[in-house]
Amino acid sequence: MTPASRFRRAYVIGAYLPNGGTRMAYALGTILERDFGIPAVAVQVGNESPDHGIHAYDVAMPQVTLAQMQAQIGAADILVVNPSFSPHQFGLRLPGFKLCYVQGFNTFALLDQRFQHYVAASDFVAGFLRDVYGLHARVIAPYVELERMPPTADWESRPPLRVLPYRKGLPEVWDASFARMREIVTAQAPEIEFDEALDGGALAQPELFARLGRVRHLLTLSAAEGFGLVPLEAMAMGTLVVGFDGYGGRQYMRPGENCLVAPYPQVERVAENLIAAVRDPTRSARIAQRGRETARGFSLARFRQAWIEELARALAM
């Protein structure tokens, strides 16, 4: 009898919600089903469904409502949860083996600490869990869907003065940061043009990748991220990432090497970096190329293998 054979089902909370964090939870469900033989079930937290048009899904998980899951779940089941669902207190209330993939540090006010196993999306998140909650979690970074990415335009054919702002995070923080940064850029480099801001959560993945690959510069002003998937996707598309590192982005961002970032709230440095990037396209092209090389290391194959090893150990316990 293998450790995995003890389990009957794997319930994945919000597997079909259209965002990057729940996309990773869905991926865990597919690994449990394909590699461990444990059928995965998607748990609806609202009216979400797999036909929302943002992501494509290779494994069709049956769906149950949140109420149905809570009525059905037993000691032989697995529950996969993101930390933003901590207010439900699943750890205290429900039976089974409960796994939390902690992909953020600012998406919850108080972490549900009654789970059997925690994994962090970045070293920053792991440090947060250790310092605040005394939890020691292995780091498994999210993946970029490299296989779904379209061919990219070469650097020279992209508009040299155009910048694509990426809007995510607290609106007040983003608006104030962008206004201050734009004030500096307008005064010192009025030739720089800003596209309409990108809302990554509202676009189908092919359209998102296409927009990222049409510009030389992505401006990310998300102040706090557990990892930061869209900037890494931009790197994979050969686009230079400028802006805040979001703290969790330090997992893959190397300022001056594969991106030009600074910590929040150093918006003046962001403006300086952006002006320098636009005015030195040769250097920027080199940095963008190193960003693309970085992104290749965050593949689905790497993610899958790391989780197979982690789940094998965790379920054996």
Structure tokens at 49: 């469904």
Residue 265, CA atoms < 13 Å, CB-side half-sphere: 8
Other CB atoms within a 10 A radius of the CB of residue 258 amount to: 22
| Helix, strand, coil content of the chain in percent (nearest 5) | 45, 15, 40
Task: Show pLDDT as tens, one digit a residue, over the chain (317 residues).
Answer: 466 679 999 999 999 999 999 999 999 999 999 999 999 999 999 999 999 878 999 999 999 999 999 999 999 999 999 999 999 999 999 999 999 999 999 999 999 999 999 999 999 999 999 999 999 999 999 999 999 999 999 999 999 999 999 999 999 999 999 999 999 999 999 999 999 999 867 788 999 999 999 999 999 999 999 999 999 999 999 999 999 999 999 999 999 999 999 999 999 999 999 999 999 999 999 999 999 999 999 999 999 999 999 999 999 97
* Total residue length of the chain: 317
| 3-class secondary structure, 165 | strand
Helix, coil or strand: residue 117 = strand
Q: What is the 3-state secondary structure (H, E, C) of 176-207?
A: HHHHHHHHHHHHHCCCCEECCCECHHHCCHHH
Q: How many CA atoms lie within 13 A of 9 on its CB side?
A: 17
Res 3: pLDDT? 64
Encode pLDDT of 195-238 as tens digits.
999 986 778 899 999 999 999 999 999 999 999 999 999 999 99
* pLDDT at residue 200, rounded to an integer: 67
CA distance 33 to 309: 15
197-208 as b/e, with b when 16 or more CB fall inside 10 Å?
A: ebebeebebeeb
Q: Is residue 158 exposed (0-12), middle (13-18) or buried (19+ Cβ within 10 Å)?
A: buried
CA count, 13 A, side-chain hemisphere, 264 = 18
For 315, the token pair is 């379920």
**Bridge partners of 217?**
163, 240
DSSP 223: S
pLDDT (tens digit per residue) in 265-299: 999 999 999 999 999 999 999 999 999 999 999 99
- pTM, whole model, 2 decimals? 0.96
CB atoms within 10 A of CB 159: 13
Q: What is the pLDDT of residue 229?
A: 96
Domains defined along the chain, listed by start: 3-143+299-316 (3.40.50.2000), 147-295 (3.40.50.2000)
Q: How far apart are CA 263 and CA 154, in angstroms?
A: 29
Q: Which amino acid would we find at residue 4?
A: A
| Helices and strands in the chain: count of H runs, count of E runs | 10, 12
Cβ partners under 8 Å of residue 177, min gap 6: 221, 223, 244, 264, 265, 267, 270
Could you tell me the sign of the dihedral formed by the alpha carbons of 305, 307, 308, 310, in that order? positive
Q: Residue 25 is which amino acid?
A: A
Q: Select from 120, 125, 124 the least CA-distant residue to 139.
A: 120
Contacts for 176 with CB less than 8 Å, ≥ 6 apart: none
